Amino acid sequence: MPYLSSGGGSVRCLGWRGHQNLGDEVVFEALERHFAPHRLTWRPEEMPKLLQRTADRVEHPLTILGGGTLIGGRYLDALLAQPDPERRAVFGAGVIDPEFPHSYRSGREALDRWVKGLAEVGYIGVRGPRSKAILSQRGLDAEVLGDPVAAFATDDGFWAPGPNRTVGINVGRSAGGVWGSEIEMLAGLAAAVRKLTAAGWKVEYHVVYPPDLEVTELFARDTNTASSPIHTCYDRAEPFIDRTRHLTAFLGLKLHAVALAVCAGVPAASIEYHPKCRDFMGSLELDHLAINSADLDPDSVVEIVTQLEADGSAISAHGLARLREQRARQQEVARNLMKRFELVA
């Protein structure tokens, strides 16, 4: 069992996965690339008690807090269980935003406890500028490392928009955990899609989490686009990237749907339902392409999709350039961490 692995080549990764949420899965996939050829081990949230006790006794030369909005959440005790602070690292994780009204709806631990726990961590690299600012306000310095999925940034020429104007759409639900009203957000997006199709745009839907499939099907029927393709991808980056490369533009709700579209070179805009979306876009200096869900209206959505089409080549090149810079830095940090602790394959 990989989560029981130990020895000189094992790197323990803390994070949420195993639930067919594409974002969680591709972050782990990206981290495997960054830390190759060393084994990246992950322990399921739930396992038999005997295995859990065994796993807790395994020592790893390095423990990393992977991507996702984890700082302020549930993994602090597991990170601090690594006895040597220098052998703990934060690698592209986001920080829970105290200004977001839903940040602590699940009884999550206080951010201040995290700040105290991270004070001696050997390396802290966060997803974006907002995450860095939240920690800085509390006296903790961090580097903007970017999201680990920068590992999937494609080469020039991969993006190959087809002859018809086609926008990729990603919608879903977040159990009400959005800026403003989730129902009003989806209604505004639906009205925008109707305007786009009336103007001659074709639509393709991209679903990255199984519970979002039903929402997408209902959304498609409501917008008279039920005959449009609905693609599902829940576990790997490559199929998603391949299915988006022909799009003219992409408009997404879920952070990693947008992130992987940018990796494909597709000009993309983010519906900022959660602060993490702007944090990611800000890491690429593309936060002007993030629309806050509380401020969303159909005309603003149509306007930003029109901008994606008009300035597509420049937006694509800029996003890929920033991702490649992040990928190079992430690879450097991973190499330095592995060298520091003499990890062997």
pLDDT of residue 26: 98
Average pLDDT value for the chain? 92
Q: What is the pLDDT of residues 207-265, one digit of tens each?
A: 999 999 999 999 999 999 999 999 999 999 999 999 999 999 999 999 999 999 999 99
pLDDT of residue 107: 42
Q: What is the pLDDT of residues 163-214, one digit of tens each?
A: 999 999 999 999 889 999 999 999 999 999 999 999 999 999 999 999 999 9
pLDDT on residue 103:
80
Q: Quick one: what percent of the chain has pLDDT higher than 90?
A: 80
| Least confident span in 18-32, 102-116, 232-246, 274-288 | 102-116
Looking at the structure, tell me whether residues 101 and 193 fall in a common domain.
no
55-59, 129-133, 290-294, 325-329: lowest mean pLDDT where?
55-59
In a domain, 138, yes or no: yes
pLDDT at 2 over 90: no
Can the peptide bond before residue 37 be classed as cis, meaning omega within 30 degrees of 0? yes
pLDDT of residue 106: 46
Domain assignment present for residue 160? The answer is: no
Q: Which domain holds residue 101?
A: 2-151+325-340
Shared domain for 75 and 96, answered yes or no, is yes
* Residues 200 and 277 placed together within one structural domain of the fold: yes
Residue 228: the pLDDT is 98
Q: In the prediction, which pLDDT does 51 show?
A: 53
Look up residue 343 and give its amino acid. L
As beta bridge partners, residue 65 has: 14, 90
Check residue 269 and give its pLDDT: 98
**Over pLDDT 70: what percentage of the chain?**
90
Amino acid at 342: E
pLDDT (mean) for 16-23:
93
Q: Does 140 map to a domain?
A: yes
**pLDDT score, position 1:** 46
pLDDT for 45 equals: 61
> What six digits make up the tokens of 10?
């094992």
Q: Do 317 and 329 have their domain in common?
A: no
Q: For the chain, how far is it from start to end, CA to CA, in angstroms?
A: 17
Measured in degrees and rounded to the nearest 5, phi and psi for residue 251 equal -130, 120
Tell me the pLDDT tens digit for each residue of 47-90. Answer: 555 555 555 656 788 999 998 999 998 899 999 988 899 999 99
104: CATH: 3.40.50
To which residue do tokens 């129902």 refer?
A: 183
Residues 279 and 273: their CA atoms lie apart, in Å, by: 12
Q: Are 325 and 266 in contact (CB under 8 A)?
A: no
Taking 90 as the threshold, does the pLDDT of residue 44 lie above it?
no
Whether pTM exceeds 0.85: yes
Q: Which of 35-44, 66-75, 111-120, 125-134 is modeled with the greatest confidence?
A: 125-134
Q: Are 235 and 20 in contact (CB under 8 A)?
A: yes
The CATH number given to whatever domain includes residue 253 is 3.40.50.2000
Within-domain flag for 260: yes
Asked if 175 and 316 sit in the same domain, the reply is yes
- Are residues 219 and 192 located together in one domain of the fold? yes
20 with 78, same domain: the answer is yes
CA of residue 153 relative to chain centroid, distance: 14
Q: Which two three-digit tokens encode residue 321?
A: 């350039």
DSSP string, 121-155: -SEEEESSHHHHHHHHTTT---EE---GGGGGPPP
- Which pLDDT score is estimated for 39? 84
Q: Enter the tokens of residue 190.
A: 């639906």
In the predicted model, what is the mean pLDDT of residues 137-142? 96
Say yes or no: 121 and 90 in one domain: yes
